[in-house]
Chains A and B, each alone.
Chain A
């Protein structure tokens, strides 16, 4: 599409075509191209061929999971009841999607209107991350059709997962509402937009409450397993805060990563406001991420001191812990700080990629790698890995489809050539 844009193609930015007639919904969905051009465009994109290969292998396996059961795609471990679906899909996708509430807070609550150009991308990143965390959960649950049981059929309100279930469900609706304006602009429904605008502060505050609690609750879930999670990754009083605090820099870093991808691969869809302000905004997000990283590092060390886990530092697991902290926390902290001092958005972007990797490592360490640390290691089944890749690919497909159409990276206009 970037090539097409160079050759003079201009994507849909308004209800009106250049000649004054209005775009139909079908034309909007096809990005203003003819069906033939649209398909040709899709076939030309090498990334779509990679996706085709992933789906050719992954879709049958996903179908197989529901025909033959979880035992067919996982090792059916009783000692490792949670595998990659939750270890990656839930525990990693959710913190990486904290950008939604972070951007809502920055723009709507703290009144930093200068972050407006990237607010919607943050909100979308949040919504899709949560949505696909639920998709992962649905694949992992033994009886996914009973998902609503904790809400309406048999309530166990003292359990942490009860809180997670309710909060993720409420927060998903909250995020959908926050993105209604983008959808409303695209579809031409001004009243829906106005309605959401009237309650945006309430939605934002609700978003903060729900996010604090369920991000923390995901950490809280592991407090059920003292002795199973390695003591260096486990802390009864601080676990929730570790997860919450790391979600802040995870969400901000992920937003930098995603915006970088947009800048590279979807330049045709970004408007000048977005492109021109992106470097400044990247540094702004970096500032927040650096603050969260510093807080996280300190509270991690305090947790070790509080639980007196120093002796574990000198074991093999301790070295693994130091590696995670050095590469996943200290390195991005230093790079972000350098980027801020030198005003270098490129360095900030590098740092964001590392920080995202650090979060993935931390969550996998907690949920899988150091879990049952004194029992044995379990490497997930290859079918489990294929499913994770396939679902993640779907996440990217949906993400890309929305970015290409709705006014996320560009502002909707009354007339096309404004």
Chain B
């Protein structure tokens, strides 16, 4: 089976010796041009025009993942008025892997937009590439899962995630770990079933399917209703593509999406540094030993005369 991704190439490139470094780097750069996710990976298409903000998905997630009881019950809609101490809307936390936020939009007949938010399960996840203990895995089904038993707690993945998704259980002194949506991998996705939130939605906001099919469905919806939808599937190309993708009838930047995020996966910004690593490792020893010989040439010449020794 073809199971080659950027990670394994980089592993080869870095773990290999100077001799293989050259070939590994060239392979890695060709992989980066072609790797756009596993061919049959699954995804979810979210259509915000259908969401009414009932929070059923939040409740379903809480139950499926065995998360602690929320501060306010899931039928309490006053959470939409909550503003956190930092002036931000609610976000994913150690107690909630998915949340819905309300965005008031001017002149929208249907009223405010409700936006569901959870891990987007990137094709080339920044969290995965930044993890120095390899705690993250992108499964062939499309989920980005996490192994809490090896996590050291450096929290670089939280720095790296362009969507601010991973949360951390700071409150635990003994076993603090990353808390994030795993697309119900263990209990559902692995067996081909949709995540709990998708199944729980009464409005059929979310469509579960193969990622490549979802892109076709999304485009068809936009084409059949061009006046309604914004002509963009958010997540099709953002940061190298994500498993979760979104359709909206208002511009994405008005409902809390980062539209300046670019289409490059995060690892492509890091590669500029990774490229110099093998160069420094191979060139510096010879270069600086050379400097040493140059700087001490007079002494060497002095000592050379009788025996030819250094």
Q: Do A and B bind each other?
A: yes
Give per-residue flags for B32-60: 1 if the beta carbon is below 8 A from chain A beta carbons, else 0. Answer: 00000000000000000000000000000
Chain A residues numbered 207-226 whose CB sits less than 8 Å from any CB in chain B? 208-209, 212-213, 216-217, 219-226
- The reply on B252 being an interface residue by CB < 8 A is no
B224 lies within 8 A of chain A by Cβ:
no
Render B260-271 as a binary contact track against A, CB cut-off 8 A, 1 for contact.
Answer: 111000100110
- Min Cβ gap A179→B in Å is 21
21 residue pairs bridging A and B, Cβ less than 8 Å apart:
A69-B173, A70-B176, A79-B91, A81-B168, A109-B288, A141-B153, A142-B177, A156-B133, A157-B14, A157-B15, A158-B6, A158-B10, A159-B130, A162-B14, A208-B284, A220-B270, A224-B159, A225-B160, A226-B162, A226-B269, A240-B273
CA distance in complex: A178, B134 (Å): 33
What residues of A have a CB within 8 angstroms of the CB of B285 in the complex?
Answer: 205, 209
Instruction: Report whether A78 and B292 are in contact in the complex, using a CB–CB cutoff of 8 Å.
Output: no
Distance from A142 Cβ to chain B, minimum over Cβ atoms (Å): 2
| Contact stretch, chosen from A7-15, A143-151, A339-347, A388-396 | A143-151
What chain A residues lie within 8 Å of B87 (beta carbons)? 376
- The verdict on A155 contacting chain B, using a C-beta distance below 8 Å, is yes
CB-CB < 8 A to B260: which residues of A? 227
CB pair A68 B132 closer than 8 Å: no
Q: Which of B132, B175, B272, B295 contacts A161 (CB 8 A)?
A: B132
The smallest C-beta distance from B59 to any residue of chain A, in angstroms, reads 22
| In the complex, per-residue mask of A45-71: 1 if CB is within 8 Å of any chain B CB, else 0 | 000000000000000000000111111
A71 touches B171 (CB 8 A): yes
Which residue on A lies nearest to B165, using beta carbons?
A78
Known interface pairs A110-B295, A111-B296; A153-B133 also in contact (CB < 8 Å): yes
Report which B residues bind A (CB closer than 8 A).
Answer: 6-7, 10-11, 14-15, 86-88, 91-93, 126, 129-135, 147, 150-156, 158-160, 162, 164, 166-168, 170-177, 258, 260-262, 266, 269-270, 272-274, 276-277, 280-281, 284-285, 288-289, 291-292, 295-296, 299
Q: A217: which B residues are within 8 A, CB to CB?
A: 273
| Known A209-B280, A375-B86; 18 more pairs at CB < 8 Å | A81-B158, A82-B155, A143-B176, A155-B133, A158-B14, A159-B130, A159-B131, A160-B274, A161-B130, A161-B132, A208-B284, A209-B285, A212-B284, A221-B156, A223-B269, A224-B270, A225-B159, A378-B86
**Closest CB in chain B relative to A303 CB, distance in Å:** 12
Check if B288 sits within 8 Å of A143, measured CB to CB.
Answer: no
Cα separation A223 to B126 with both chains bound (whole Å): 11
Cross-interface CB contact of B155 among A142, A204, A209, cutoff 8 Å = A142
Interface: A3 (CB within 8 A):
no
Chain A proximity of B96: nearest CB distance (Å): 11
B86 / chain A contacts, CB cutoff of 8 Å? 79, 375-376, 378
Q: Is the CB–CB distance between B155 and A111 below 8 Å?
A: no
Query: In whole Å, how far is A51's beta carbon from the nearest beta carbon of chain B?
Result: 27
A334 at the interface (CB under 8 A from B): no
